[in-house]
Structure 1
Protein backbone atom coordinates (compact mmCIF):
# COMPACT_ATOMS: atom_id res chain seq x y z
CA UNK A 1 0.00 0.00 0.00
CA UNK A 2 1.32 3.41 -0.93
CA UNK A 3 1.12 6.81 0.66
CA UNK A 4 -1.40 9.41 -0.49
CA UNK A 5 -0.80 13.11 -0.01
CA UNK A 6 -3.86 15.31 -0.51
CA UNK A 7 -2.47 18.74 -1.29
CA UNK A 8 -5.14 21.36 -0.63
CA UNK A 9 -4.58 24.84 -2.00
CA UNK A 10 -6.32 27.20 0.40
CA UNK A 11 -9.75 28.65 -0.33
CA UNK A 12 -10.39 32.28 -1.27
CA UNK A 13 -9.18 34.73 1.35
CA UNK A 14 -9.69 38.36 2.28
CA UNK A 15 -6.63 40.25 1.06
CA UNK A 16 -4.45 41.78 3.74
CA UNK A 17 -0.74 42.57 3.45
CA UNK A 18 -0.07 40.35 6.48
CA UNK A 19 0.38 36.84 5.04
CA UNK A 20 0.31 34.92 8.32
CA UNK A 21 -3.10 36.09 9.56
CA UNK A 22 -5.01 36.58 6.29
CA UNK A 23 -8.37 34.82 6.86
CA UNK A 24 -10.76 33.09 4.49
CA UNK A 25 -13.51 35.15 2.90
CA UNK A 26 -17.18 34.21 3.13
CA UNK A 27 -16.82 32.35 -0.18
CA UNK A 28 -13.66 30.72 1.19
CA UNK A 29 -15.48 29.34 4.23
CA UNK A 30 -18.25 28.01 1.99
CA UNK A 31 -15.71 26.29 -0.26
CA UNK A 32 -13.80 24.93 2.76
CA UNK A 33 -16.98 23.03 3.72
CA UNK A 34 -16.98 21.44 0.25
CA UNK A 35 -13.30 20.55 0.65
CA UNK A 36 -14.18 18.82 3.93
CA UNK A 37 -17.00 16.85 2.24
CA UNK A 38 -14.63 15.63 -0.48
CA UNK A 39 -11.91 14.64 1.98
CA UNK A 40 -14.33 12.79 4.28
CA UNK A 41 -14.47 10.08 1.59
CA UNK A 42 -10.69 9.63 1.57
CA UNK A 43 -10.07 7.84 4.89
CA UNK A 44 -7.66 10.58 6.07
CA UNK A 45 -5.22 9.69 8.84
CA UNK A 46 -3.53 13.04 9.58
CA UNK A 47 -3.75 16.71 8.66
CA UNK A 48 -0.76 19.01 8.20
CA UNK A 49 -0.95 22.70 7.35
CA UNK A 50 1.04 25.74 6.52
CA UNK A 51 1.02 28.17 9.47
CA UNK A 52 -0.91 30.70 7.36
CA UNK A 53 -4.45 31.15 8.66
CA UNK A 54 -6.14 30.74 5.27
CA UNK A 55 -4.49 27.33 4.71
CA UNK A 56 -5.27 26.18 8.25
CA UNK A 57 -8.90 27.30 7.99
CA UNK A 58 -9.35 25.44 4.70
CA UNK A 59 -8.43 22.06 6.23
CA UNK A 60 -9.62 22.42 9.82
CA UNK A 61 -12.97 20.77 8.98
CA UNK A 62 -11.36 17.48 7.99
CA UNK A 63 -9.14 17.57 11.09
CA UNK A 64 -12.23 17.93 13.29
CA UNK A 65 -13.99 15.18 11.34
CA UNK A 66 -11.19 12.66 11.98
CA UNK A 67 -10.61 13.91 15.55
CA UNK A 68 -6.99 14.89 15.00
CA UNK A 69 -5.11 18.10 15.68
CA UNK A 70 -3.61 19.89 12.70
CA UNK A 71 0.17 19.63 12.66
CA UNK A 72 1.62 23.00 11.63
CA UNK A 73 4.54 22.70 9.25
CA UNK A 74 6.34 25.95 8.50
CA UNK A 75 7.86 24.70 5.25
CA UNK A 76 4.46 24.28 3.58
CA UNK A 77 3.98 28.07 3.71
CA UNK A 78 3.79 29.98 0.44
CA UNK A 79 6.97 30.96 -1.27
CA UNK A 80 8.17 34.46 -0.49
CA UNK A 81 8.11 36.36 -3.77
CA UNK A 82 9.71 39.57 -2.50
CA UNK A 83 10.29 41.35 0.79
CA UNK A 84 8.14 44.23 -0.49
CA UNK A 85 4.90 44.13 -2.50
CA UNK A 86 5.63 43.86 -6.22
CA UNK A 87 4.19 46.40 -8.66
CA UNK A 88 3.07 43.77 -11.19
CA UNK A 89 2.34 40.38 -9.62
CA UNK A 90 1.78 38.61 -12.96
CA UNK A 91 5.14 39.81 -14.31
CA UNK A 92 6.89 38.91 -11.05
CA UNK A 93 5.51 35.39 -10.83
CA UNK A 94 6.24 34.73 -14.50
CA UNK A 95 9.80 36.00 -14.02
CA UNK A 96 10.61 33.57 -11.20
CA UNK A 97 9.17 30.66 -13.18
CA UNK A 98 11.25 31.58 -16.25
CA UNK A 99 14.50 31.44 -14.28
CA UNK A 100 14.53 28.97 -11.38
CA UNK A 101 17.54 30.69 -9.79
CA UNK A 102 16.17 34.24 -9.99
CA UNK A 103 14.72 35.93 -6.93
CA UNK A 104 13.52 39.42 -6.14
CA UNK A 105 15.12 41.20 -3.19
CA UNK A 106 14.26 39.32 -0.01
CA UNK A 107 12.34 36.66 -1.95
CA UNK A 108 12.86 32.99 -2.69
CA UNK A 109 13.88 31.66 -6.06
CA UNK A 110 11.86 28.75 -7.42
CA UNK A 111 14.89 26.57 -6.74
CA UNK A 112 15.08 27.54 -3.05
CA UNK A 113 11.32 27.38 -2.47
CA UNK A 114 11.16 24.02 -4.23
CA UNK A 115 14.01 22.61 -2.13
CA UNK A 116 12.20 23.70 1.04
CA UNK A 117 8.89 22.20 -0.08
CA UNK A 118 10.36 18.95 -1.36
CA UNK A 119 12.45 18.46 1.79
CA UNK A 120 9.36 18.61 4.01
CA UNK A 121 7.32 16.49 1.57
CA UNK A 122 9.95 13.74 1.67
CA UNK A 123 9.91 13.94 5.48
CA UNK A 124 6.12 13.51 5.45
CA UNK A 125 6.40 10.53 3.09
CA UNK A 126 8.91 8.88 5.43
CA UNK A 127 7.07 9.68 8.65
CA UNK A 128 3.59 8.75 7.42
CA UNK A 129 4.35 5.88 5.05
CA UNK A 130 1.19 4.05 3.84
CA UNK A 131 -1.10 6.74 5.31
CA UNK A 132 -3.51 9.27 3.80
CA UNK A 133 -2.34 12.77 4.69
CA UNK A 134 -4.01 16.13 4.00
CA UNK A 135 -1.61 19.04 3.49
CA UNK A 136 -3.11 22.53 3.65
CA UNK A 137 -0.88 24.75 1.57
CA UNK A 138 -0.62 27.36 -1.21
CA UNK A 139 -0.65 27.32 -4.98
CA UNK A 140 2.91 28.25 -5.84
CA UNK A 141 4.67 26.02 -3.32
CA UNK A 142 2.30 23.15 -4.12
CA UNK A 143 3.09 23.32 -7.84
CA UNK A 144 6.83 23.66 -7.18
CA UNK A 145 6.64 20.45 -5.12
CA UNK A 146 4.63 18.69 -7.84
CA UNK A 147 7.10 19.98 -10.46
CA UNK A 148 9.98 18.26 -8.67
CA UNK A 149 8.27 14.89 -9.16
CA UNK A 150 6.91 15.60 -12.67
CA UNK A 151 7.99 18.55 -14.83
CA UNK A 152 4.56 18.85 -16.48
CA UNK A 153 3.42 20.70 -13.34
CA UNK A 154 4.73 24.12 -14.36
CA UNK A 155 3.80 27.79 -14.60
CA UNK A 156 0.96 27.09 -17.05
CA UNK A 157 -0.42 24.44 -14.72
CA UNK A 158 -0.20 26.89 -11.80
CA UNK A 159 -2.19 29.51 -13.76
CA UNK A 160 -5.08 27.04 -14.10
CA UNK A 161 -5.45 26.26 -10.40
CA UNK A 162 -8.66 27.00 -8.56
CA UNK A 163 -8.91 28.44 -5.08
CA UNK A 164 -9.35 26.05 -3.34
CA UNK A 165 -8.00 23.07 -5.24
CA UNK A 166 -7.23 19.49 -4.22
CA UNK A 167 -4.68 17.14 -5.75
CA UNK A 168 -4.17 13.58 -4.56
CA UNK A 169 -0.57 12.51 -5.11
CA UNK A 170 -0.04 8.76 -4.73
CA UNK A 171 3.46 7.53 -3.91
CA UNK A 172 5.27 4.23 -3.70
CA UNK A 173 8.02 5.20 -1.28
CA UNK A 174 9.22 8.51 -2.75
CA UNK A 175 8.22 7.68 -6.33
CA UNK A 176 5.18 9.57 -7.60
CA UNK A 177 2.80 7.06 -9.19
CA UNK A 178 -0.35 9.08 -9.90
CA UNK A 179 -1.92 12.51 -9.56
CA UNK A 180 -5.68 12.94 -9.44
CA UNK A 181 -7.53 16.24 -9.15
CA UNK A 182 -10.40 16.00 -6.66
CA UNK A 183 -11.76 19.53 -6.85
CA UNK A 184 -14.24 20.84 -9.36
CA UNK A 185 -16.67 23.72 -9.18
CA UNK A 186 -20.36 22.82 -9.48
Structure 2
Protein backbone atom coordinates (compact mmCIF):
# COMPACT_ATOMS: atom_id res chain seq x y z
CA UNK A 1 0.00 0.00 0.00
CA UNK A 2 1.48 3.34 -1.06
CA UNK A 3 1.81 6.41 1.11
CA UNK A 4 1.49 9.72 -0.71
CA UNK A 5 3.04 12.92 0.64
CA UNK A 6 2.01 16.16 -1.05
CA UNK A 7 4.83 18.62 -0.42
CA UNK A 8 3.37 22.12 -0.73
CA UNK A 9 5.60 25.16 -0.94
CA UNK A 10 3.73 28.11 0.52
CA UNK A 11 2.15 30.78 -1.65
CA UNK A 12 3.51 34.33 -2.00
CA UNK A 13 3.64 36.23 1.29
CA UNK A 14 3.91 39.85 2.35
CA UNK A 15 7.53 40.52 3.24
CA UNK A 16 8.25 41.49 6.83
CA UNK A 17 11.00 40.85 9.37
CA UNK A 18 8.54 38.59 11.23
CA UNK A 19 9.38 35.24 9.65
CA UNK A 20 6.93 33.41 11.90
CA UNK A 21 3.89 35.63 11.34
CA UNK A 22 4.26 36.74 7.71
CA UNK A 23 0.81 36.37 6.09
CA UNK A 24 0.04 35.57 2.47
CA UNK A 25 -0.21 38.46 0.04
CA UNK A 26 -3.38 39.08 -1.98
CA UNK A 27 -1.89 36.98 -4.81
CA UNK A 28 -0.88 34.34 -2.27
CA UNK A 29 -4.44 34.10 -0.89
CA UNK A 30 -5.75 33.70 -4.45
CA UNK A 31 -3.18 30.98 -5.18
CA UNK A 32 -3.98 29.20 -1.89
CA UNK A 33 -7.54 28.76 -3.20
CA UNK A 34 -6.08 27.12 -6.30
CA UNK A 35 -3.97 24.83 -4.11
CA UNK A 36 -7.19 23.73 -2.39
CA UNK A 37 -8.84 23.10 -5.78
CA UNK A 38 -5.84 21.06 -6.91
CA UNK A 39 -5.85 18.88 -3.79
CA UNK A 40 -9.56 18.45 -3.08
CA UNK A 41 -9.96 15.39 -5.35
CA UNK A 42 -6.80 13.64 -4.07
CA UNK A 43 -8.48 11.91 -1.12
CA UNK A 44 -6.36 13.70 1.48
CA UNK A 45 -6.37 12.12 4.96
CA UNK A 46 -4.36 14.65 6.99
CA UNK A 47 -2.82 18.11 6.68
CA UNK A 48 0.47 18.94 8.37
CA UNK A 49 2.30 22.26 8.28
CA UNK A 50 5.23 24.34 9.33
CA UNK A 51 4.25 26.68 12.17
CA UNK A 52 4.88 29.71 9.94
CA UNK A 53 1.71 31.63 9.07
CA UNK A 54 2.28 31.61 5.29
CA UNK A 55 2.62 27.82 5.19
CA UNK A 56 -0.48 27.28 7.34
CA UNK A 57 -2.57 29.71 5.27
CA UNK A 58 -1.56 27.92 2.05
CA UNK A 59 -2.94 24.54 3.23
CA UNK A 60 -5.82 25.75 5.44
CA UNK A 61 -8.36 25.34 2.63
CA UNK A 62 -7.77 21.62 2.16
CA UNK A 63 -7.78 21.11 5.95
CA UNK A 64 -11.20 22.79 6.07
CA UNK A 65 -12.56 20.64 3.25
CA UNK A 66 -11.56 17.39 4.98
CA UNK A 67 -12.70 18.74 8.38
CA UNK A 68 -9.34 18.30 10.08
CA UNK A 69 -7.20 20.60 12.16
CA UNK A 70 -3.76 21.28 10.71
CA UNK A 71 -1.13 19.32 12.60
CA UNK A 72 1.78 21.70 13.27
CA UNK A 73 5.32 20.33 13.21
CA UNK A 74 7.99 22.84 14.13
CA UNK A 75 10.72 21.03 12.21
CA UNK A 76 8.94 21.79 8.91
CA UNK A 77 9.89 25.48 9.33
CA UNK A 78 12.16 27.08 6.76
CA UNK A 79 15.86 26.77 7.27
CA UNK A 80 17.41 29.64 9.18
CA UNK A 81 19.94 31.19 6.85
CA UNK A 82 21.58 33.46 9.42
CA UNK A 83 20.94 34.96 12.84
CA UNK A 84 20.99 38.45 11.29
CA UNK A 85 19.70 39.53 7.87
CA UNK A 86 22.20 38.85 5.07
CA UNK A 87 23.28 41.67 2.75
CA UNK A 88 22.56 39.74 -0.45
CA UNK A 89 20.05 36.90 -0.16
CA UNK A 90 20.90 35.38 -3.57
CA UNK A 91 24.64 35.27 -2.82
CA UNK A 92 23.97 33.80 0.61
CA UNK A 93 21.71 31.06 -0.79
CA UNK A 94 24.26 30.31 -3.50
CA UNK A 95 26.97 29.88 -0.85
CA UNK A 96 25.03 27.43 1.32
CA UNK A 97 24.08 25.33 -1.71
CA UNK A 98 27.69 25.26 -2.94
CA UNK A 99 28.92 23.89 0.39
CA UNK A 100 26.29 21.76 2.16
CA UNK A 101 28.25 21.94 5.44
CA UNK A 102 28.62 25.73 5.46
CA UNK A 103 26.42 27.91 7.63
CA UNK A 104 26.36 31.59 8.41
CA UNK A 105 26.56 32.58 12.08
CA UNK A 106 23.41 31.37 13.80
CA UNK A 107 22.15 29.71 10.62
CA UNK A 108 21.68 26.13 9.45
CA UNK A 109 23.80 24.38 6.87
CA UNK A 110 22.04 22.45 4.11
CA UNK A 111 23.00 19.19 5.83
CA UNK A 112 21.61 20.27 9.19
CA UNK A 113 18.31 21.55 7.73
CA UNK A 114 18.01 18.47 5.51
CA UNK A 115 18.47 16.07 8.46
CA UNK A 116 15.76 17.93 10.38
CA UNK A 117 13.29 17.82 7.48
CA UNK A 118 13.98 14.22 6.45
CA UNK A 119 13.52 13.02 10.03
CA UNK A 120 10.00 14.52 9.96
CA UNK A 121 9.21 12.86 6.62
CA UNK A 122 10.40 9.44 7.82
CA UNK A 123 8.23 9.79 10.94
CA UNK A 124 5.23 10.76 8.81
CA UNK A 125 5.76 7.73 6.56
CA UNK A 126 5.54 5.46 9.61
CA UNK A 127 2.70 7.29 11.36
CA UNK A 128 0.53 7.68 8.24
CA UNK A 129 1.46 4.56 6.25
CA UNK A 130 -0.99 4.01 3.39
CA UNK A 131 -2.47 7.52 3.72
CA UNK A 132 -2.44 10.74 1.68
CA UNK A 133 -0.84 13.57 3.61
CA UNK A 134 -0.46 17.24 2.68
CA UNK A 135 2.75 18.79 4.06
CA UNK A 136 2.85 22.60 4.04
CA UNK A 137 6.43 23.84 4.09
CA UNK A 138 9.00 26.15 2.49
CA UNK A 139 11.09 26.14 -0.69
CA UNK A 140 14.59 25.56 0.67
CA UNK A 141 13.57 22.89 3.15
CA UNK A 142 11.26 21.22 0.64
CA UNK A 143 14.04 20.81 -1.95
CA UNK A 144 16.52 19.63 0.68
CA UNK A 145 14.02 16.93 1.68
CA UNK A 146 13.42 16.02 -1.95
CA UNK A 147 17.19 15.86 -2.58
CA UNK A 148 17.58 13.26 0.16
CA UNK A 149 15.39 10.88 -1.85
CA UNK A 150 16.61 11.90 -5.33
CA UNK A 151 19.79 13.92 -6.00
CA UNK A 152 18.40 15.60 -9.11
CA UNK A 153 16.50 17.95 -6.78
CA UNK A 154 19.22 20.54 -6.25
CA UNK A 155 19.90 24.27 -6.23
CA UNK A 156 19.07 24.65 -9.93
CA UNK A 157 15.80 22.83 -9.33
CA UNK A 158 15.03 25.08 -6.33
CA UNK A 159 15.35 28.13 -8.58
CA UNK A 160 12.57 26.75 -10.83
CA UNK A 161 9.98 26.30 -8.06
CA UNK A 162 6.77 28.26 -8.20
CA UNK A 163 5.24 29.93 -5.18
CA UNK A 164 3.14 27.95 -4.37
CA UNK A 165 4.18 24.59 -5.77
CA UNK A 166 2.98 21.03 -5.15
CA UNK A 167 4.83 17.73 -5.60
CA UNK A 168 3.29 14.35 -4.81
CA UNK A 169 5.82 11.83 -3.53
CA UNK A 170 4.61 8.23 -3.59
CA UNK A 171 6.37 5.80 -1.25
CA UNK A 172 6.39 2.06 -0.69
CA UNK A 173 7.49 2.01 2.94
CA UNK A 174 10.42 4.44 2.92
CA UNK A 175 11.30 3.71 -0.71
CA UNK A 176 10.41 6.50 -3.13
CA UNK A 177 8.51 5.09 -6.10
CA UNK A 178 7.28 8.15 -7.99
CA UNK A 179 7.31 11.93 -8.00
CA UNK A 180 4.66 13.96 -9.79
CA UNK A 181 4.28 17.71 -9.96
CA UNK A 182 0.64 18.71 -9.46
CA UNK A 183 1.03 22.48 -9.74
CA UNK A 184 1.36 24.35 -13.00
CA UNK A 185 2.06 28.07 -13.17
CA UNK A 186 -0.72 28.38 -15.74
CA UNK A 187 -3.29 27.39 -13.09
CA UNK A 188 -3.14 30.97 -11.82
CA UNK A 189 -4.44 32.23 -15.13
CA UNK A 190 -7.30 29.77 -15.54
1:59-96, Cα deviation, whole Å (9 max, x unpaired): 00000000000000001000000001100111100100
- Please report the RMSD computed on the Cα atoms of aligned residues, expressed in angstroms: 0.4
Match of 1:178 in 2: 178
Distance 1:4 1:92 in 2: 33
Following superposition, the deviation at residue 17 of structure 1 comes to 0.7
Match of 2:36 in 1: 36
Match of 1:18 in 2: 18
Number of matched pairs: 186
Match of 2:166 in 1: 166
Following superposition, the deviation at residue 41 of structure 1 comes to 1.2
Q: Which runs of 5+ in 2 are unaligned?
A: none
Match of 1:64 in 2: 64
**2:98 counterpart of 1:98:** yes
Distance 1:100 1:164 in 2: 25
TM-score when normalising by structure 2: 0.97
SS at match of 1:177: strand
1:82-127, Cα deviation, whole Å (9 max, x unpaired): 0011001111001001111000000000000000000011000000
Runs of 4+ in 1 over 4 A off after TM superposition: none
Following superposition, the deviation at residue 150 of structure 1 comes to 0.4
Match of 2:52 in 1: 52
1:26-56, Cα deviation, whole Å (9 max, x unpaired): 0000000000000001000000000000000
Distance 2:26 2:116 in 1: 31
TM-score when normalising by structure 1: 0.99
Q: Which runs of 5+ in 1 are unaligned?
A: none
